[in-house]
């Protein structure tokens, strides 16, 4: 769990942490981004995690496939 900055929304801070993990290779291309795992790890509600995945999807960092989940996008 991270120590949250009370002046910023939690979803932004979690998105930043996931962005860092993608950038440093902790989450390599095609790595599954599990909403359930993020929910448990960061101690937040599913709605918060969905804001995170929506933001990362909008940035092109992850792709979501119906029925399969969200994965780190291939760099291209």
What is the predicted pLDDT for the residue at 36? 95
What is the predicted pLDDT for the residue at 20? 97
In order of their start, the domains of the chain are 10-72 (1.10.10.10)
What is the predicted pLDDT for the residue at 75? 81
Angstrom CA distances, 19 to 14, 56, 58, stand at 9, 8, 13
Mean pLDDT of the chain: 95
Greatest alpha-carbon pair distance for the chain in Å reads 36
pTM passes above 0.95: no
- pLDDT bin (cut points 50, 70, 90) of residue 1 is low
Q: What is the pLDDT of residues 24-58, one digit of tens each?
A: 999 999 999 999 999 999 999 999 999 999 999 99
């Amino acid at each position: 769990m991270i120590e949250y900055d009370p002046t910023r929304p939690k979803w932004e801070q979690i998105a930043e942490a996931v962005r860092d993990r993608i950038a440093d290779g902790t989450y390599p291309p095609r790595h599954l981004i599990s909403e359930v795992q993020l929910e448990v790890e960061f101690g937040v509600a599913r709605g918060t995690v969905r804001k995170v995945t929506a933001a990362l999807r909008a940035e092109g960092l992850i792709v979501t496939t119906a029925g399969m989940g969200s994965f780190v996008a291939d760099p291209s």
